[in-house]
Structure 1
Amino acid sequence: MSTLLSSPLKPAHQHRKWSDGALLVVALLALWQMASSLLGAEVLPGPWLTFLKLKSILSDDDFPDNLRVTSVAFALGFAISCIGGVCLGLVLGARRLAGDIVEPILMAFYAIPKITLYPVVLLMFGLGLYAKVTFGVIHGIIPITIFTMNAVRNMRPVFARTARACRLSPVAYARYVLLPAAVPEVLAGLRIGFSLTLLGTLIGEMFASQSGIGHMLMIAMGRNDSQTIMALASLLFIFATVVNLALLKWHQRLVKAP
C-alpha cells in the first residue's frame, strides 16, 4: 500500500525540484541583467554579452591549451588533496590524542591567507605545474582532513570494539571499518575541498604561471576587460556547480542508503 502511494508522488516531487531550479536560474539571470542595466555594460556585462564573449573564447585557438593546463594542475591537486586529506583524517580521527594536538595547528594554518605563501612556493617550485598544484593542495587538503577526522570521531563505538575483537590490522581497520563508516561526511568534505582546490589552482595560475585559465583572468584584469572576466567566471561557476551537484546527489544517496 505504501509503495502504491509513494510511486506517483516521486515524479511529482522530481518535477517540482526541477521547476524550482529553473525558477532560481531565471531569477538569478534577471537580477544579473538588472544589475548590468544599473551599473552599465562596461562595469558589469549582462548575461547575453557574457554568453557571446564566452562563445568567442571557447572558439579561440589558444583556449584548448589553456584549458588543458588548468585541468591537469587541478586534477593533480585535487587527487593529492583527496588521498592525503582522507588518509590523514583517518589517522587523526583514530588517534584522538594526535587529533587534539594537530587540529588547532591545521586550523591556524588554514586561517593564514594563502597568497602570503606565494614567495615561498615560487622559490621552491618556480613558475610551472608544481607551483599551481601546491597552491591547490594547500587550499583543499585541510577541509577534507577535518571532515574525515570528525567523521571517524563520531563513528559508533561498537565498530571499533568489533574491529578489536576481530583483531584487524590497522590497514584492514581503516579499509573495512573507518572509511565505510565515514564516507558520507568524507563526501561533504570533498565537496568543499573540490571548490577550494579549484580556487587555489586558479590563484596559482594567476601568480605563478604563464598559461591557464587563471593566467587568462590575470591578463583580463590588467586590461580591465570586464567581458572576459565575467565570461571566464561564468564558465568556472557552471563547472563547479555541476560537479558539486553530482557530489551532493551521491552524498544524499549514501545517507539514505540502509
Structure 2
Amino acid sequence: MTSARNNLLVILALIALWQLAYWAIGDLALRPPLDTLRKAAALIASEGFTAHLAETMRAFALALGIAVVVGVGLGFCLGMSRLAGEVGEPLLVSFYSLPKITLYPIVLLIFGIGMPSKIAFGALHGIMPIAIFTLGALRNLPPVLGRTSRALRLSRWQSAWTVLLPAARPEIFTGLRLGFSLTLIGTLLGEMFASQRGIGFLLMQAIGLHDTDLIMALTLLIVAFAITASMALLAVDKRLRHGAA
C-alpha cells in the first residue's frame, strides 16, 4: 500500500513539474499535460494507430524473447566455466558500453529494412545486460551448490536447470528488467531510422513535421507503457527476492 502511494506521489510530482516546465517554456517545445492526454486518447481511437501499435509490440516481443534466451544462455555458458567467464566478461562489458547505434548500418546490411532489422536491433540492446547479470548471479552463488550437484552426480546442464537457475533467479530477473527497458529502446530506435510502420516511425515522422502535439502524445504513451511494465516487473523482482531470503 505504501509503495503504491509513493508511486502515485512520484507521478503527481512529475505531472506538476511538466506543467511548470510548460509555463516556463510555452508552446515552442511543450504542451500541457491535459492537452497531451486528450491528444493521446484521440490518437489511440484514431484509425490506423492499432496497426502501428501491433507492429511495434510484435517486434518488441520477438526481440525481448531472443534477448532473454540468448542472454541467459550466454551468461550460463560463461558462468559455469571460470576460464570462459574471465575471458568473456571483459568482452561483454566492452560490447555493452559500445553505442549500439554505430552498429545499425551493419544490422541493416545483414537484415535489410523492416521487421527483421527492428527485432535484431532491439535484441542487440537487451542481450548484453541480461548476459552480464546472469554471469554475475552464477558467480555469487554459494560454492556448496556446486558440491551438492557433484554429490548428486548431476550433469552440467542438469545442475544448471535444477540447482543453479532456481538459486540465481532473483538476480537474473534484475538483468531481465534492465534488458526489457533497453530492448524497448532498441526496437523504437530501429523503427525510427529504418521502418515505415510502428510507433517509432510515427514519432520520427512527427519530428520531421515538427508536430509537437503528436510528439508529446506518442512520448506520453511510450513512457506510460514503460513505467507500468517497469513497476510490474519490479513487484515480481521484490517477490522473488523475498522468497529467496
2:209 aligns with 223
User: Which residue number in structure 2 is paired with residue 168 of structure 1?
Assistant: 154
Partner of 1:157: 143
Structure 1 partner of 2:230: 244
> Which of 102, 117, 126 is equivalent to 1:140?
126
Structure 2 gaps of 5+ residues are none
CA displacement at 1:46 relative to structure 2: 1.2
Does residue 185 of structure 1 match 2:171? Answer: yes
Is the Cα contact below 8 Å between 1:127 and 1:210 reproduced in 2? no
How far residue 194 of structure 1 moved from its aligned partner, in angstroms, is 0.2
Instruction: Note the C-alpha offset of 1:226.
Output: 1.6
- 1:87-126 to structure 2, matched below 5 A, reads 87-126=73-112
Say if 2:192 is the partner of 1:202.
no
Separation of aligned partners in 1, 2:3 and 2:107: 45
CA distance in 1, matches of 2:39, 2:72: 40
Q: Which residue of 2 aligns with 1:74?
A: 60
In structure 1, give the amino acid aligned to 2:123.
V
Cα distance per residue 1:78-116 (max 9 Å; x no partner) = 000011111111121111211111111111112221111
Which 4+ stretches in 1 moved above 6 angstroms? none
Structure 1, unmatched stretches of 5+, are 1-13
1:5 equivalent in structure 2: none
1:140 and 1:34 map into 2 onto residues whose CA distance is: 35
Q: Shift of the alpha carbon at 1:244?
A: 1.2
User: How far 1:171 moved relative to its partner?
Assistant: 1.7
Q: Match of 2:160, as an amino acid?
A: A
Mapped to 1, the partners of 2:240 and 2:4 lie a distance apart of 21
- The answer on 1:27 being equivalent to 2:16 is no
Counterpart position of 1:51:
37
User: Once the two structures are superposed, what CA deviation does each residue of 1:113-167 show, in whole Å capped at 9, x if it has no partner?
Assistant: 1111121111111111110011101100000000010000000100000101111
| Kept after mapping to 2: 8 A contact 1:90/1:178 | no
- Mapped to 2, the partners of 1:186 and 1:245 lie a distance apart of 17
Give the match for residue 6 of structure 1.
none
Higher Cα radius of gyration: 1
Give me the whole-angstrom Cα distance separating, in 2, the residues matched to 1:151 and 1:20.
30
The one-letter code of the counterpart of 2:175 is G
